[in-house]
């Protein structure tokens, strides 16, 4: 893991987990509420969320469902709720793992290592190529090749292309694309898409004016057809 977002209103727990994670080389951001969590997600990409269900401003289950509408970032729940119903509800909402309080830091670190291993296995096979072989996208290595040459992408361009590659062949609506790339605070900023779509086409398409892979469907969204 590189960047862990801890969403926990108990400052002692948040501090203890943060110190342990930083000691293992992780970057850590702490949010004490659902609002602060959304602000943190809008500001920077995170690799995993550690989420307490008992937040002061919103129920954690609702937060999980909100995140799952636009992102598949791993979520590890930490909660004082020991009942099976609460655990089932969190996992059904989209959480990847569930740890009950009190817990040891070693247990949390073990859960994160398991998630990292699973993510690594999935990433190893995440190479997307166009049918004509012109474009090859290596999602694991963050590398794009066009006609055999490596092409540099900005972080925003890469994030957009990653979304298209993961949803290849499917229509991606503007709101989904904006929230996955920029965060939920930017869901209405459609002007961003026109600029960055133009830049992506310049780098991927043989003729950007007549795109072969990155298609605009007016009033609906965009589609990547490799």
| Phi and psi angles of residue 43, each rounded to the nearest 5 degrees, phi first | -85, -30
Count how many residues are written for the chain: 226
| Both structure tokens of 188 | 């209405």
Report the distance separating Cα 126 and Cα 137, nearest Å.
8
**Domain range summary for the chain, segments of one domain joined by +:** 2-120, 127-224
What value does the mean pLDDT of the chain take? 86
Residue 123 pLDDT more than 80? Answer: no
Contact 109, 24 (CB under 8 A): yes
The CATH number given to 127-224 is: 1.10.10.10
Residues 69 and 36: their CA atoms lie apart, in Å, by: 18
Tens digits of per-residue pLDDT, 44-56? 778 899 999 989 9
84-99: pLDDT as tens digits? 788 888 998 889 899 9
* This prediction's pTM: 0.56
Structure tokens at 127: 């190479």
Count each helix (H run) and each strand (E run) in the chain, helices first.
8, 12
The pLDDT value recorded for residue 124 is: 44
Q: Answer whether 2-120 and 127-224 agree in fold.
A: no
pLDDT at 39 > cutoff 80: yes
For 160-190, what is each residue's pLDDT tens digit? 998 898 888 888 888 888 888 887 777 777 8
Residues contacting residue 44 through CB under 8 Å, at least 6 positions apart: 3, 29
Residue 153's φ and ψ, nearest 5 degrees, are -120, 145
**CB contact at 8 A, 6 and 14:** yes
Which residues 6+ apart lie within 8 Å of 170 measured at CB? Answer: 223
State whether CATH 3.30.70.1710 applies to domain 2-120: no
- Cα separation, 17 vs 50, whole angstroms: 10
* Cα gap 73→66, rounded to integer Å: 12
**192 vs 7 pLDDT, higher one:** 7
Q: Give the CA count within 13 Å in the CB-facing half-sphere of 28.
A: 18
């Amino acid at each position: 893991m590189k960047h862990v977002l801890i969403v926990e209103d108990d400052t002692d727990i948040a501090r203890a987990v943060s110190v342990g994670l930083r000691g293992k080389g992780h970057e850590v951001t702490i949010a004490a509420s659902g609002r602060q969590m959304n602000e943190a997600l809008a500001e920077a990409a995170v690799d995993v969320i550690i989420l307490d269900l008992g937040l002061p401003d919103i129920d954690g289950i609702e937060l999980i469902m909100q995140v799952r509408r636009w992102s598949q970032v791993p979520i590890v729940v930490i909660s004082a709720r020991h009942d099976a119903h609460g655990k089932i509800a969190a996992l059904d909402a989209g959480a990847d793992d569930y740890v009950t309080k009190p817990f040891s830091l070693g247990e949390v670190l073990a859960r994160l290592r398991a998630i990292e291993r699973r993510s690594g296995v999935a990433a190893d096979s995440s190479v997307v190529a166009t049918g004509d072989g012109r474009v090859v996208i290596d999602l694991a290595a963050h590398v794009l090749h066009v006609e055999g040459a490596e092409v540099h992408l900005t972080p925003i361009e890469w994030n957009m292309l990653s979304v298209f590659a993961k949803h290849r062949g499917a229509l991606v609506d503007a709101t989904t694309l904006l929230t996955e790339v920029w965060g939920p605070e930017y869901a209405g900023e459609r002007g961003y898409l026109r600029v960055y779509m133009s830049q992506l086409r310049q780098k991927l398409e043989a003729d950007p004016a007549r795109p072969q892979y990155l298609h605009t469907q007016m009033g609906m969204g965009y589609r990547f057809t490799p």
